[in-house]
Every structure is written in structure tokens, then in C-alpha cells.
Structure 1
Amino acid sequence: MSLVVYLAAAVFGLSGLLLFRRPRTVVRDPLALSTCVAIGLGTLVFVCSAPLTLAAVNDLTGIPNFGAPLTYGMLSAYSCSLLILLINWRGGPRERVRRMVLRSIVGYGLLVVAIVVLFALADARTERLRDLDTYYANTPYMREMILLYLLGHSAAMLVMCVLCVKWGREVTGLLRLGLRLILASSVLDLAGFQLTKYTAVVARWRGHDLDVLSTDVAPPMASLAALVCSAGFVLPRLLPPALAHWRGLSDHRRLNPLWSLVRSVSLTSPRPPASWWQLPQERLHWREVAIHDALLALAPYFDDRVRERARDAALRAGRSPHEARLVSEAAMLADAARRAAAGEEPFDKPSSYRLHATEVSGTDGLVELARALDRSAAATAVREGTVKASHGWTHG
């Protein structure tokens, strides 16, 4: 059981570290800070609730079951942090947000104090690491403490469900996806963790034994709910940059035909640092700079006649005007790169033609040019292979 709980804590905490990768930015952003605090407290709840941790805390303090109010207090603080996170996520007038946050802190602060006081008044001398809720379900003060922490957590989850349903109608895209994941986690927590806990405790009140619900069903359901909840908070913030890096990696690869052609003349642009861990967008930026530098260096070698012949041929073949332009630019660029590599002199009167890739922002124009070059190279290879095969058949 401890291994499963520790694994859930590790995965839960990792999502917080991903958001906390820039501490200065996080501290200045209430939403990012409240997200990291909520995930951090959730991680501590899992760590504290593991039987190995409970035994260590009890031994360290010398107080049997001291780990119980510690875990329940952490769980109450986690519930409060979730509400504060949703308040910051929703936003609004600063005074209103501050007032709602303060109310949440006061309410759950009193709940934590009540949990500690009730534990101090109770007689809980027998250490229970896995079934404390049901073992002490009929013990004075412990009974109230258990019921109080469950009600505090249930209130937070119910509020989250209501807010997620309400706000989910007002937002779109990744934010709506995040709210749906949080809603799913809240329902999972209510049905899988709290309902099983309530059922097992009430069964003890009535003289029945359904402890298996509390000891074997509730903990993994709580772990699953927390992981889904963390995904709901993290995905809207991490998925956009992740997708941007994925597109950067794809564009970097698609620029290979163009880069292979012009890299020998890209002499003045700064070279990227040789770091394997460099992010895809950074690599793409360096390649864009180098390619544009090479295109500028090759401009004096542009032959308008080559371009016009290739454009006319493409139009006769049924290509659209835009496709014909890309094909003609690829042919002109390949010719310019060949003559520059051979050491030929540039034209005395350079062409004033501007490539499509230099007229549009971003990498789309360069990617289109690279694709046209790749297709031209493939077509040339097919033609050369056909000619060689034809000659071989004739001589045969």
C-alpha cells in the first residue's frame, strides 16, 4: 500500500515541478503559485497517509496515531488550496478574490484546529496504520474528528463540482478540458474515496464490518482522483507550449532539404550551441536564422531565366500559380547554390526578385520552399533512374 501511495505522490509532485520550473515567474503569478501550492499539499497528503510514514511519525513523536491529525490537517489544507486555486483561476475584482481566499483560509484553518483539539481529547492509544477511521469510528472525540475531516473535504469537492459545471459553460478549448478533468476527479473523489469512507464508518456505527471499503478501496481511488485533478490543472498551462515545441520539432525536420542545400553558404549567422537538451523551438529559431542568412548570401546568384522557365513548365503541367511559384523558386535556388558552391562569380546586376519565404512571417514559407525542393529532387531522381534503366535496356 505504501508503495502505491508513494508512487502517486511522486507523479503528483512531478506535475508541480513542471509548473515550478521558473520560480520567479511562479511567485509573481497568483494562479501559478496557488497551483503549485495545491499540488505540493496534495503530494504531502499522500506521503503522510502512507502506512510507513504514519509509523515513522508515530515513533518520532512518541504519540500513538499522531500521524492521523497530521494527515487530516494536511488533507483539509489541500481542500482549502483547491478552492483558492479555483478562485484565482476564475479571477475577478482583486478585492473580491482576496475576500474569498481569506474566507476559505479562515474556514479551513478553524477546521484544522478542531481536528487537533478533538484528537487531543480522544483516547486513541492503540496504533492503527490502515484502519484508524473504522477502528475508532465509535470512540468519543475520534468519531467527531473523523466525521469532521470527511465533511470538510466533501464540502470542497462539492463546491469544485458546482464551479466546474458553471464555468465549463463559459469557457472553451483547453480551459474547458481542464475543468472537465477537475470535475471528473471531484466526482471520482466523492464516489470512490469519500462515499466508501462514509459507508465503512456508518457500518461500524450500526455494528457491521465493511472496513475493506476504507482500507482497500478508498486509497487507490483517492490516488486516481488526485492524478486526474493534477492533469486538469496542469494540461491547460503545459499543453500549449508542449504542442508548440512539437510543431517546432516537426518544422525543424521538414526544413532539412532546404538546410542541406544552403548550409554551406550560411557563414555569418551565429551557430547554435552544441547542446542535446536544447528545446525544439530554440533549435528551429537557429535554423531559421541560418537559412535566411544563406538566402541573403545566395541572392546575387539568382537567375530569373531559370525561375521563369521552371514556372512556365509548372503552369503547363497544371500546377496552381502558387505551386508554380514555389517550384520555380526551388529551381532558381538550387541553381544559385550549385554555382555558388562551384566558385562562380555572381551576376553583375543581381536579381531584384524576392522569395515567397522572405515575404511571410514564421516558418511556413520556408517549409513550403523546403517541400518544393524535396519534390524537385525526388522528381529529378526518378527521371535519372528512368533514363539509366532505358539505356540499359537498349544496350541489352
Structure 2
Amino acid sequence: MSIVVYAAAAVLALSAILLFSRPRTALRNPLTASTCAAVVLSAICFFLSAPATLRTVNEVTGVPNFGAPLTYSMISAYSCSLIILLIHWRGGSPAYRQRMVLRAVATYSIVIVAIITLFSQARAGNERLRDLDTYYANTPYMREMIVLYLVGHGACLVVMSILCLRWAREVTGLLRTGLRLILVGVVLDAAGFEIAKAVAIVARWADYDLDFLSTTLAPPVVSAGALVTAVGFVLPRLLPSAVTHWRSLADLRSLTPLWEEVQSVPTAPKPRPSWWYLPAARLHLLEASIHDALLALAPHFDDRVRQISLTTALGSGSSPRQAEVIAEAAMLADAARHATVTDDHPDTTPSTYRLHATSAPGASGLIELAQALGQSPLVTAAREGTVKATRD
């Protein structure tokens, strides 16, 4: 059981780290901060509920079953954080959100104080690491403490279900997908944790033994529910960024031929070591270096190479746009050859032509240029200097 809950805690902690990758930005954004808080508290709940952790807490404090009120208090804090997260996610005026957050904090603060007070009044001297809820189901004060934390968490699930169902009708796309995942997680949590434990406890009150519902069924199901809920909260915030970085990786690979062509230019600035940067940042650095290299090569551009290559490409059946890109790539390859051989300008009038890639938005123009550099035989001819013999 400890392995299951520790694994769930580790996955949730990783999600929190990804969300909190930029601490200053995250702390300034209430939605991001509350998402991180909810995911972190969820991970802490799983960590504390593991039998190995409970045993350690009991040994350190010297109080049998002290891990129980600690875990139940943390579950109540987690329930509060989920409601606060939904408040910020739903939006509204700052005054309204602040008022609702204060109400949630006040309510669950009372619950946490009551849990600690009830435990302090109970007689629970026998350490129970896996079946405390059912073992002490008929013990005064412990019984009330157990019911209280279950009611507090159940109320959170009801509020979440109502808000998610209402909001899912108003939104689309990733946000709706996230809300549906949260609802799935709530159902798993309710069925595998709330209902299972409640049935097991009520059975104890009626002198029946259904402890397996609490000790065997609840832990893996609630772990799955918490993970699905976390994915529902995290997905709308992380997936767009993940897609951006994935596309950036593809663009970085596509730009390789272009960078290999211009990186040897003496005045071309080299990107800083950037293996630890995210792909989007690495792409930005590479684009900046390529643009600077193209600017350094501009004095070496030869319109005759471009015109000859354009005519040849059109004659070979290329579309006007394809022929234009091939001609620009051939002129660039010729200019890179001149810049590498000598720092002097070629014995031709410098071109005033502006490459399409330098004005196209994003990396699209640079990628077109890179593809032509890596595929067109006309570019190979310009790179080898054979176009020069034709134009003389």
C-alpha cells in the first residue's frame, strides 16, 4: 500500500514542479498559485497516509495514531484548496473571489480545529496503520473525528461536482476536457473513498465487518481519482505549453540545414550553450543567431545567382513560390561561400534584395529556406560555385 500512495504522491509532486517552474510568475497569478497549492497538498496527503509514514510520525511524536489527525487535517486543507482553486478558475470580481476564499478558509479551519480537539479527547492507545477508521468506528470522539473529516471532504466533492457541471456547459476545448476529467476524478474519489469508507464504518456500527472496503478498495481507487483530478486541473494549463515546446523541437530540427550553412560566417554570433533551456527558448536563440548571420551575409548577396537559379527552377517545373525560395537559398549558399573564403565583398554590385525569411512571421520563412538548402540541387551548385561560371 505504501508503494501505491508514494507513487501517486510522486506523480502529483512532479505536476506541481512543472506548474511552479517559474516561481515569481506563479506567485503573482492566483490561479497558478492555487493550482500548485492543491496539487502539492494532494501529494502531501498521499505521503502522510502511507503506513510507513504514519508509523514514523507516531514514533517521532511519541503519540499513538498521531498520524491520523495530521492526515485528516491535511485532507481537509486539500479539500479547501480545491474549492479555492475552483473559485479562482471560475473567475469573477476580485472582491467576490476574496469573499468566497475567506469563507472556504474559515469553514475548513473550523473543521481542522475540531479534528484536533476530538482526537485530543479520545482514547486511542492502540496504533492502527491501515484500519484506524473502522477499528475506532465506535470509539467516542474518534468516531466523531472520523465522521467529521469524511463529511468535510464529501462536501468539497459535492461543491466541485455542481460547479464543474455548471461550468462545463459554458466552456469548450481544453477547459471542458479538464472539467470532465475533474468530474471523473470526483466520481472515483466519492465511490472509492467516501462511499467505501462510509459503508465500512456504518457496517461496524451494525456489528458487521466490511473493513476491506476501507483498507483494500479505497487506497488504489482514491489514488486514481486524485491523479485524474490533478490531470484535469493541470491539463488546460500545461498542454498548450507542452505543444509549443514540441513544435519548437520540430522547428529546431528543421532549421539545422540553415544553421549549418551560416554558422561558419565569421561575424555570425553563436547561440549560447542552451541544452538546459526549454525548446521554445532554444528556438528563439537559434532564430536570433540565424537572423544576425543573414544580416552579416547581406553584403555578399548576388542578384545574378538568384535570377539564374529562379529561371532554372521555374523551367524545372517548380511553382513560383518554390522557385523563389530555391533562388533565395542558392543566393544565400553563394554568399556564405564568399564570406567563408574572404572577408572582401565579391566583385559585383551588392544586392539590395531582402530575403522573405527575414520578414515572415515566426520561423516559417526560415524553415522554408532551410528545406531548400537541404534538398535543391541548384543550391548545391551555388554552394560549389558552379553557378558563377554560368553567369560570367
Same structural fold, with TM-score higher than 0.5 when normalized by the shorter chain: yes
Q: Pairwise mapping of residues 1-396 of structure 1 onto structure 2 (< 5 A)?
A: 1-265=1-265, 267-269=267-269, 271-343=270-342, 345-377=345-377
Letter in 2 for 1:22: R
Residues 253-281 of structure 1 deviation map (CA, whole Å, 9 limit, x = unaligned): 11111111121115253x33335323322
The 3 A distance-change label for structure 1 pair 48 and 40 is: same
The answer to whether the 8 Å contact 1:266/1:291 transfers is no
Residues 46-81 of structure 1 deviation map (CA, whole Å, 9 limit, x = unaligned): 122111222222233333222212111111111011
User: Which piece of structure 1 moves more, 370-379 or 231-240?
Assistant: 370-379
Letter in 1 for 2:157: M
The 3 A distance-change label for structure 1 pair 53 and 340 is: closer
What residue number does 2:386 align with?
none
The 3 A distance-change label for structure 1 pair 379 and 20 is: closer
The whole-number CA distance in structure 2 between the counterparts of 1:67 and 1:301 is 74
Q: Which secondary structure does the structure 1 equivalent of 2:271 belong to?
A: coil
Q: Which secondary structure does the structure 1 equivalent of 2:317 belong to?
A: coil
The whole-number CA distance in structure 1 between the counterparts of 2:360 and 2:47 is 53
The whole-number CA distance in structure 2 between the counterparts of 1:297 and 1:23 is 39
Letter in 1 for 2:261: L
The answer to whether the 8 Å contact 2:328/2:369 transfers is yes
TM-score (norm 1): 0.89
Residues 216-257 of structure 1 deviation map (CA, whole Å, 9 limit, x = unaligned): 110111112222222222222222222222222211111111
Q: CA deviation at 1:379?
A: 9.2
Give the alignment's Cα RMSD to 1 decimal: 2.2
Q: Which secondary structure does the structure 2 equivalent of 1:353 belong to?
A: coil
The whole-number CA distance in structure 2 between the counterparts of 1:377 and 1:180 is 53
- Count of residue correspondences: 381
The whole-number CA distance in structure 1 between the counterparts of 2:84 and 2:362 is 39
The answer to whether the 8 Å contact 1:300/1:347 transfers is no
TM-score (norm 2): 0.90
Q: Which secondary structure does the structure 1 equivalent of 2:124 belong to?
A: coil
> 5+ unaligned residues in a row in structure 2: which ranges?
382-392
The whole-number CA distance in structure 1 between the counterparts of 2:349 and 2:362 is 30
Letter in 2 for 1:125: G
Letter in 1 for 2:86: L
The answer to whether the 8 Å contact 2:189/2:225 transfers is yes
The answer to whether the 8 Å contact 2:326/2:379 transfers is no
The whole-number CA distance in structure 1 between the counterparts of 2:208 and 2:24 is 54
Q: CA deviation at 1:300?
A: 2.6
What residue number does 1:392 align with?
none
The 3 A distance-change label for structure 1 pair 294 and 67 is: closer
The 3 A distance-change label for structure 1 pair 290 and 56 is: closer
Letter in 2 for 1:285: H
Q: CA deviation at 1:145?
A: 1.9
List structure 1 runs of 4+ shifted beyond 4 angstroms: 377-381
The answer to whether the 8 Å contact 1:266/1:290 transfers is no
